[in-house]
Amino acid sequence: MSLKSVAAKIFAKRIAKKNTKWILNPHKAQDEVFKTLVASALNTQFGKDHDFNSIKTHNDFVKHVPIRDYEELKGYVEKIIEGASDVLWPGKPIYFAKTSGTTSGAKYIPITESSIKNQVEASRNAILNYIHETGNADFVNGKMIFLQGSPVLEEKNGIKLGRLSGISAHYVPSYLQKNRLPSWETNCIEDWETKVNEIIKETQNEDMSVIAGIPSWVQMYFEKLNSKTGKKVGDLFENFQLFIYGGVNYEPYRAKFESLIGRKVDSIELFPASEGFFAYQDSQKEKGMLLLLNSGIFYEFVKADDFFSENPERITIKDVELEVNYAMIISTDAGLWGYNLGDTVQFISLRPYKVIVSGRIKHFISAFGEHVIAKEVEEAMRQAIEVTDAEVSEFTVAPETTPKEGLPYHEWFVEFERAPSDMDKFCETLDLVMQKQNSYYFDLIDGKILQQLQIAQVSKGGFQNYMKSLGKLGGQNKVQRLSNDRKVANALQPFIL
């Protein structure tokens, strides 16, 4: 065992002991975060506008600070961009994370010195937790690759600006720099296809032990490796031991990944965003991610079914229930207050608090009142793949409300790497699992309002070509899993077999 492996195990044990304190006292941890956040922002413009001096309890906070999305917070952000200090948080942020907006183009999410520190520590602790749990630290001696955006940053009035993954590239610890790939020059390439080709050149003859990124884009890397070398990824990289991912549910990709790798490898799921790092998988034996309750983020939750009502109830961690679909609202040490993240979560454990990401509050299908969410279609896909031995590269689902003939239905756009042995059984399994999970969908099928879902097969590489047509190939971009209209469905038509 190398000196680096031994040191990693010692450090992992120390961090695990430190984390145990807040894990065993979650409510106290969140109370302290809440008080610190409010006290820190008393003299900011936002704090004065919302009378933070009067906020002593969560009920006070609810009265003074409404739930906002980025568009409603944008006025404050624009003042920071123009050069103002003490707007949302004391001083100025050190970065803006640039993300894709839905209404007004790009979003600029502030990142402060405190918030980036918490993000970096959370990503580090996810790996250290894995080392502590499994006792496996050998991978620290191999090469590691993080498929991410360009680390080249712009500047706006003295504040650096870039993609979150590019910003994070500046915080790789010195002891990992020699292990890290790709090279800085390759990482700076903006065009995703060119970048992946260069990454393959740099990595195909290396001893890769850790690979990280959004599954859909890591899959592209694996496929190109396989095509170029004629080898399974696990044979090419004999010491490849750990896959780290976030952004989307891995389960629909798992079978395809194991086929490309040629064997199983351990994986760690992360829940990061430009707005903060919220959770990471803390066990190889159990599902779910540990919600980080002492990392500068105060959490509120609103039942997803009530979210669009006039005055939805906002609860704290103390009052959440298992397996309820919640919109997650955050207040952070980067100056986001009552901020609607857009993600929905379900708690699968309350001791400790562990979540799964169930979807996006705006991404669902309820064309007929069924309110289908991402977690449901992903679970249905997982079971259909298992039953029919199919391999799926990517998929999305949309309602067909006005078919040329027959009843309306849900249309599943699926790109198969290997088509199912029995397509009828594949469709039937999808539909039955959906009915089992969603009683509203069952009622619509049973009442002859909807017919069984239908499959539209997307050509190989079709989803990549679709994303490329949007200018969203690679990086942190993800295929939208659900739509309540036909916009994505119509855009996919050129790629249908």
Q: SS3 for 89-103, per residue?
A: CCCCCCEEEEECCCC
Residue 24 lies in a domain: yes
Q: Do 483 and 416 reside in the same domain of the chain? A: yes
Predicted TM-score (pTM) of this structure: 0.85
Residue 256 lies in a domain: yes
Q: Do 112 and 194 reside in the same domain of the chain? A: yes
Residue 367 lies in a domain: no
Write down how long the chain is: 497
Provide long-range contacts, Cβ within 8 A and 24+ apart, for 2-10.
2/138, 2/140, 2/141, 4/137, 4/140, 4/141, 4/175, 5/137, 5/138, 5/140, 5/141, 6/137, 8/128, 8/131, 8/137, 8/140, 9/131, 9/132, 9/135, 9/137
| CATH assignment at residue 396 | 3.30.70
Selection from 457, 56, 126, 437 nearest residue 278 by Cα? 126
Residue 170 lies in a domain: yes
Helix axes 423-437, 439-446, angle to 10 degrees: 120
Which H or E run includes 50?
A: none
Q: Do 405 and 341 reside in the same domain of the chain? A: no
Q: Of 337, 362, 387, which one is at a domain's C-terminal end?
A: 362
Q: Do 253 and 158 reside in the same domain of the chain? A: yes
Which pLDDT score, from 0 to 100, does residue 135 have? Answer: 94
Q: Do 302 and 445 reside in the same domain of the chain? A: no
* pLDDT tens-place string over residues 290-337: 999 999 999 999 999 898 888 899 999 999 999 899 999 999 999 999
Q: Do 321 and 408 reside in the same domain of the chain? A: no
- Tell which phi-psi region holds residue 110, choosing left (phi > 0), alpha (psi between -120 and 50) or beta: beta
Distance CA 117, CA 387 (A): 44
Distance CA 134, CA 493 (A): 46
Q: Do 356 and 379 reside in the same domain of the chain? A: no
Quote the number of domains for the chain.
Answer: 2
Q: Of 306, 329, 362, which one is at a domain's C-terminal end?
A: 362
Residue 226 lies in a domain: yes
Q: Do 348 and 458 reside in the same domain of the chain? A: no
Q: Do 408 and 489 reside in the same domain of the chain? A: yes
Strand 266-273 relative to strand 276-280, pairing: antiparallel
Which pLDDT score, from 0 to 100, does residue 179 have? Answer: 86
Selection from 421, 406, 422, 423 nearest residue 457 by Cα? 423
Task: Tell me phi and psi for residue 176, to 5 degrees.
Answer: -105, -10
Which pLDDT score, from 0 to 100, does residue 102 have? Answer: 47
Pick out the chain residues at pLDDT < 70. 1, 100-105, 175-176, 475
Q: Do 254 and 382 reside in the same domain of the chain? A: no
For residue 358, the SS3 value is strand
Question: For the chain, how long is the longest CA-to-CA vector?
Answer: 69
Residue 47 lies in a domain: yes
Q: Do 260 and 150 reside in the same domain of the chain? A: yes
Residue 90 lies in a domain: yes
Q: Are 384 and 430 in contact (CB under 8 A)?
A: yes
| CATH assignment at residue 243 | 3.40.50.12780
Q: Of 362, 386, 420, which one is at a domain's C-terminal end?
A: 362
Which pLDDT score, from 0 to 100, does residue 103 have? Answer: 45
End-to-end CA distance of the chain: 52
Distance CA 39, CA 166 (A): 31
* pLDDT tens-place string over residues 233-253: 999 999 999 999 987 778 878
Q: Do 15 and 157 reside in the same domain of the chain? A: yes
Residue 369 lies in a domain: no
Containing domain of residue 428, as a range?
Answer: 374-495
